[in-house]
Structure 1
């Protein structure tokens, strides 16, 4: 049996969506059925064997769509394997060291018994929406700090965990 995995994400300017799409593509390459969807569009997680939830970080908080998704589906998420990711630092720090989850994500991890979390570098480009984003860009702090090789490695680890659980009959 092939595990069906949802990669749900909260994003404002599309950077976290690109990370989620990369995660889903790697999961598919590793033999799983996976789809990436905006968290706000997901009505149910019931048909999925596992879920990855990602959210952009804004001023120390996970994107509101990711927070709402976890709150809305908490019971169903707690009954299946869950991994979380954050995207956000606009510097190379996420590629240089492990960045712990922000407090709200840490609480979600605990409540869901999440199997893991990682923080990836963020991306903020000219034309980004939002007052804070424009201020950051005016201050010269924009750029693309995502490490797609690292994202792919992490997704392969998630796939390995899932395929070993499916082979062992656990979920």
Structure 2
């Protein structure tokens, strides 16, 4: 595949970055040129044939940097195939079910409607208590959130392979 693909992400502790890297690796296996970058470092979106954009989710919201990227680049994103992913729920089972059907932040839905992503998905997240500050640990305890790594690497790989198939088919 002779395509240039940007995988841009917003992360707080690195779990979403690791998902983005895995997506990039799967896409590279097709021969595509893939750049994986934090949204703050992602430039020249118009030079890419396709974009995958992901963010960590906190209380149903994407990270501020991802929202800003979406707003600034919405015209460029609307002109090419785009996929969105979120990383966040920390529980066993289907991440969308864990989020009560949530797939994308409601406040960004009008922008998503303008862009017209090919797919929007949610992957399980990862909470490492050792990386949290005291306030965050107290919140996790208060809301009884599960800690651990709930990312499904096979599901991530399959989703990325589906993107590759769409771009080559």
TM-score, normalization by structure 2:
0.88
RMSD: 2.0
8 Å Cα contact 2:77/2:115 also seen in 1: yes
1:103-156 per-residue CA deviation (whole Å, 9 max, x = no partner) reads 135333212011111000000102224566323444462111100000000000
The answer to whether the aligner puts 1:121 opposite 2:124 as a matched pair is yes
Alignment correspondent of 1:169: none
Which SS does the other structure have where 1:159 is aligned?
helix
Q: Which runs of 5+ in 1 are unaligned?
A: 165-171
Give structure 2 stretches of 5+ with no counterpart: none
2:7 corresponds to: 7
Between Structure 1 and Structure 2, how many residues are aligned? 164
Aligned to 2:80: 80
Q: Summarize the alignment of residues 1-171 of structure 1 with structure 2, pairs less than 5 Å apart.
A: 2-94=2-94, 99-129=102-132, 133-138=136-141, 139=144, 141-164=146-169
Compute the displacement of 1:36 (Å): 0.8
> Any conservation in 2 of the 1:128–1:134 contact (CA below 8 Å)?
no
CA displacement, residues 58-92 of structure 1 (integer Å, 9 cap, x when unaligned): 11101111111111111111111100000100112
The normalised TM-score by structure 1 is 0.87
Deviates more, 1:131-140 or 1:17-26: 131-140
